[in-house]
Amino acid sequence: MSETIAAVATGAVLSAIGIVRLSGEDAIAYADTLFRPQSGVPMRESSPRTLVYGSLYTRAGELLDICLCTISRAPHSYTGEDTAEFQCHGSPVVLRTLLDELFALGARQALPGEFTKRAFLNGRMDLSSAEAVADLIDAESAESAKNAAGQLAGALGTRTEGVYSLLTDISAHYHAVLDYPDEDIEPFRLESYEQSLEQAAAELRALLATYERGKLMNAGIPAVIVGRPNAGKSSLLNALLGYDRAIVTHVPGTTRDTIEEKLRLGRICLRLIDTAGLHEVERLGVERSRSAMERAELLIAVVDGSEALTAEDKAILAAAEGAKRAIVVLSKKDLSESVKLQTTLPVVKVSSVTGEGVEALGAAIEAMFPLPDVPAGGILTNARHADALSRALDFLGSALRAMREGATPDVVLTESEGAMAALGELDGRTVREDVTNRIFSRFCVGK
Alpha-carbon torsion 389, 391, 397, 399, what sign? negative
Q: Is the pLDDT of residue 280 over 50?
A: no
Rounded mean pLDDT, 321-350: 83
Torsion of CA 34, 35, 41, 43, to 10 degrees: -80
Rounded mean pLDDT, 339-366: 87
| Cβ atoms 273, 259 nearer than 8 A | yes
Q: Is the pLDDT of residue 51 over 90?
A: yes
Nearest to 204 by CA among 439, 430, 400: 400
Rounded mean pLDDT, 316-345: 83
Q: What pLDDT sits at residue 283?
A: 40
Q: What pLDDT sits at residue 445?
A: 82
Spell out the residues 6+ positions from residue 20 whose beta carbon is closer than 8 angstroms to its own: 6, 7, 8, 9, 85, 86, 88, 95, 98, 99, 102
Q: What pLDDT sits at residue 291?
A: 64
Q: How confident is the model at residue 98 (pLDDT cuts 50, 70, 90)?
A: very high
Q: What pLDDT sits at residue 45?
A: 96
Q: What pLDDT sits at residue 143?
A: 87
HSE of 95, CA atoms in CB hemisphere, 13 A: 26
Please state which of the ranges 89-98, 233-242, 287-296, 380-389 shows the lowest mean pLDDT: 287-296
Distance from C-alpha of 111 to C-alpha of 445, rounded to nearest angstrom = 6
Going from the C-alpha of 239 to that of each of 221, 276, 301, the distances in angstroms are 18, 18, 16
Q: How confident is the model at residue 282 (pLDDT cuts 50, 70, 90)?
A: very low
Please state which of the ranges 208-217, 338-347, 419-428 shows the lowest mean pLDDT: 338-347
Q: What pLDDT sits at residue 47?
A: 95
- The residue type at 422: A
Alpha-carbon torsion 78, 84, 87, 89, what sign? negative
SS3 for the chain is: CCCCEEEECCCCCCEEEEEEEEECCCHHHHHHHHEEECCCCCHHHCCCCCCEEEEEECCCCCEEEEEEEEEECCCCCCCCCCEEEEEEEECHHHHHHHHHHHHHHCCEECCCCHHHHHHHHCCCCCHHHHHHHHHHHHCCCHHHHHHHHHHHCCHHHHHHHHHHHHHHHHHHHHHHHHHCCCCCCCCCCHHHHHHHHHHHHHHHHHHHCCHHHHHHHHHCEEEEEECCCCCCHHHHHHHHHCCCCCCCCCCCCCCCCCEEEEEEECCEEEEEEECCCCCCCCHHHHHHHHHHHHHCCEEEEEEECCCCCCHHHHHHHHHHHCCCCEEEEEECCCCCCCCCCCCCCCEEECCCCCCCCHHHHHHHHHHHCCCCCCCCCCCCCCHHHHHHHHHHHHHHHHHHHHHHCCCCHHHHHHHHHHHHHHHHHHHCCCCCHHHHHHHHCCCCCCC
Q: What pLDDT sits at residue 183?
A: 63
Q: 79-108 as b/e, with b when 16 or more CB fall inside 10 Å?
A: bbbbbbbbbbebeeebbebbbebbeebebe
Tens digit of pLDDT for each residue in 167-188? Answer: 888 888 777 766 666 566 676 6
| Cβ atoms 446, 5 nearer than 8 A | no
Please state which of the ranges 258-262, 305-309, 319-323 shows the lowest mean pLDDT: 258-262
Distance from C-alpha of 106 to C-alpha of 103, rounded to nearest angstrom = 5
Kindly report the average pLDDT of the chain as a whole number.
Answer: 85
Q: Is the pLDDT of residue 5 over 70?
A: yes
Q: Is the pLDDT of residue 412 over 70?
A: yes
Q: Is the previous residue joined to 48 through a cis bond, with omega within 30 degrees of 0?
A: no
Tens digit of pLDDT for each residue in 56-92? Answer: 999 999 999 999 999 999 999 999 999 999 999 999 9
Rounded mean pLDDT, 139-148: 88
Q: Is the pLDDT of residue 238 over 50?
A: yes
- Of the segments 7-16, 35-44, 166-175, which one has the largest average pLDDT value? 35-44
Rounded mean pLDDT, 430-447: 80
* Greater pLDDT, 365 or 261: 365
Report the first-to-last Cα separation within the chain, whole angstroms: 16
Q: Is the pLDDT of residue 243 over 80?
A: no
Distance from C-alpha of 191 to C-alpha of 41, rounded to nearest angstrom = 67
* Backbone φ and ψ of 104, nearest 5°: -65, -30
| Cβ atoms 255, 285 nearer than 8 A | yes
Q: Is the pLDDT of residue 294 over 60?
A: yes
Q: Is the pLDDT of residue 352 over 50?
A: yes
Rounded mean pLDDT, 435-444: 80
Spell out the residues 6+ positions from residue 342 whose beta carbon is closer than 8 angstroms to its own: none
Q: What pLDDT sits at residue 101?
A: 97
Q: Is the pLDDT of residue 54 over 80?
A: yes
Nearest to 447 by CA among 66, 132, 100, 38: 132
Nearest to 285 by CA among 296, 294, 277: 277
Q: How confident is the model at residue 437 (pLDDT cuts 50, 70, 90)?
A: confident
Distance from C-alpha of 352 to C-alpha of 336, rounded to nearest angstrom = 14
Q: How confident is the model at residue 275 (pLDDT cuts 50, 70, 90)?
A: low
Distance from C-alpha of 117 to C-alpha of 99, rounded to nearest angstrom = 21
Q: What pLDDT sits at residue 233?
A: 82
Q: How confident is the model at residue 289 (pLDDT cuts 50, 70, 90)?
A: low
Q: What pLDDT sits at residue 40?
A: 95
Q: What pLDDT sits at residue 284?
A: 36
- 357: region left, alpha or beta (phi > 0 left; psi from -120 to 50 alpha): left
